[in-house]
Structure 1
Amino acid sequence: MKRQIRSVAVAMATVALAGCGGGGESGSPSVNGPGQVSAPSGPYRLKMPKAVLKGTFTESREHSEPDQSIASRLAGQIENGITAFAAYQPADRKDEFSGPVLSVNGVYGTVLSPVTARDELLKILDSRTVIQDERSVVITGPRTIIPQGSSEPVSCRIVRKTSEFGTSWQPDCSWADGSAVVKVAQTVDLKKPPAEFDLEAFAAKTAIIRKEVRAPMAP
C-alpha cells in the first residue's frame, strides 16, 4: 500500500508540473517579482541537466515529457516559446519511491511580459492534475525573496490542493525574465503543517537550480 501511495504521489507531482522549459534572455531588464528588476547576464535557454543542486538530486525515472501545448498557450507572452521539464529525486535514494521529488518547469523564448507570463504559467500548472475535481488554493505568499548570494529574486508560495481523496500541499518558487519563466516545486511530508516549511531555504535551492539550468543560446 505504501508503494502504491508513493507511486500516485510521484505521478501527481510530475504530471501536474510537466511541460515547461527554456530560456533566452533579451537585453532588457529581467522582472522576477513585484517591484523587482535586475539586469540579465545575457540570452540563455533552459537545458535540464542529469543532476541538480550540485549533484545531490538526479533525474527521476518517473517523469513525463515536456508538454509543448503549454508554450502554445503562452504564445501571447512568449514568442517562439519552447517548453522544458525535468523531475529529480535524491541521488542517494534507496529506490524510485524514496525521497522528495523536485520538478522544474519552464518556457523559454522571447518573453514579452515576464510577470504576466509567469502568472499565466502558474495558472496553467495549477490546473494540471491527475485527479478529477481537484481545487488549488494559494495559502502562503506569493513572497518575493532574494536568496542569499543572488541578486535575482524569486517568487515563492505554498499551494493547498483539495480533492475527494483528501488535502495535500506543495511549495514552489518561480522566476521570470526576458528569456524564460520557470517554476520549481517539491513534494513534501504531508504529516507536517505548511507553516513549518522553510520557504527561504527553498528559495536558496531554486537560485542554485536557476544557475544550473541556464545555458547559453546557440550561436
Structure 2
Amino acid sequence: MGAVIVILVALAVIGSTTDAGFPEAKYRLRMPGTLLNGTYKLAQDLSDTAGRKVVEENKNRSNVRDPKAVVGQFNGRGTFSRNALVVSGMYGRFKDPGEARKDLMEGSADADGASVAVPARDITPKGSDLTVRCQVLKSSQNGVTSNVPLCAWADDNTGAAVGLVTPESATQDPDDIDLDKLAETTLRVREEMREPIG
C-alpha cells in the first residue's frame, strides 16, 4: 500500500500558464473518519506529512493560490476489509480545472516504480455534469508489481486523486479494470469530502 501513497503524493502537481482570474474560495476538503457511507475507515491521515510536500510543490505555481493538502489512506471494513482507498488532494483557488485533472494524472505516472498500464481518459459518469480523468498505473515496489487504478476530479476550489486497490484489481489484466465504476466512486468521495467554507 505504500506504493499507492507514493504514487498519489507524486500526482498532486497542478501547473498551467493561463492568465484567467482566480475563482473565489467557496469550498474546502475535509478528512472524514470514514468514506463511502462507512465502507472505508481512515487508517492514516498524511495531510501534515505527505501533504506538506504537495503544498510545497504547488504553492508557487502560477495557477494555484492558497493551497492546502488533504492526504489519507482508508482501509475497507467488513466484506471490503482487504481493499484500500487512498485520497491525495488539495483545496484553495485553482485556474482551469480541466487542465488540473490532466496534470494530476500525468504527475502520478512520474512516481518511482510507476508506469502507465491504461492511458488516462476523461469520463463523465451517468447523471453527473462533472468529468473525472482516470487511468491505471502499474506499480513495481520491492519486486512486487500491481495495478493502481486512479481517477481525479478538479473544480475551482478542490482537486484530488482517488486510488482504489482491491485484491482483484491489483492482479487482473489492467484493461479489464472498470474505470467507469471508479469514476462514479471518485465523485462519491468528492461529495463526502467537499464542504462549503464558513
Scaled to the shorter chain, the TM-score interval is 0.7 to 0.9
Quote the Cα distance in structure 2 between the aligned partners of 1:46 and 1:153.
Answer: 18
Match of 2:66 among 74, 80, 84: 80
Give the drift of 1:122. Answer: 3.8
Q: Is the 8 Å Cα contact of residues 3 and 139 (structure 2) preserved in structure 1?
A: no
Report the counterpart of residue 17 of structure 2 in structure 1: none
Does the 8 A contact of 1:146 with 1:152 survive in 2?
Answer: yes
Q: Contact 2:9–2:54 at 8 Å: present in 1 too? A: no
Distance of 2:180 and 2:103 partners within structure 1: 24
Give the drift of 1:119: 3.8
Matched, 1:179 2:151: no
Q: Report what 2:175 is aligned to.
A: 195
Q: Aligned with 2:78: secondary structure?
A: coil
Which has the larger helix fraction?
A: 2
Question: CA RMSD for the aligned pairs?
Answer: 2.6
TM-score, length basis structure 1? 0.72
Within 5 Å, give how 1:84-123 maps onto structure 2: 84-92=70-78, 98-123=81-106
- The Cα of 1:106 is off from its aligned counterpart by 0.6
Of structures 1 and 2, the larger Rg is shown by 1
CA separation in 2, counterparts of 1:69 and 1:194?
29
Name the residue aligned to 1:12: 3
Contact 1:13 1:101 in 2 (8 A): no
Q: Which runs of 4+ in 1 moved over 3 A?
A: 63-66, 115-129
The change in CA–CA distance for 1:43 and 1:118 in structure 2 (over 3 A counts) is same
What are the ranges of 5 or more consecutive residues in structure 1 without an aligned counterpart? 1-9, 28-41
The 1-side partners of 2:34 and 2:132 are apart by 21
Partner SS for 1:138: strand
Q: Name the residue aligned to 1:34.
A: none
Q: Describe the shift of the 1:57–1:163 C-alpha distance in structure 2 as closer, same or farther (beyond 3 A).
A: closer
**Aligned in 2, Cα 1:67/1:124: closer, same or farther, shift over 3 Å?**
farther
Structure 2 length normalisation: TM-score? Answer: 0.79
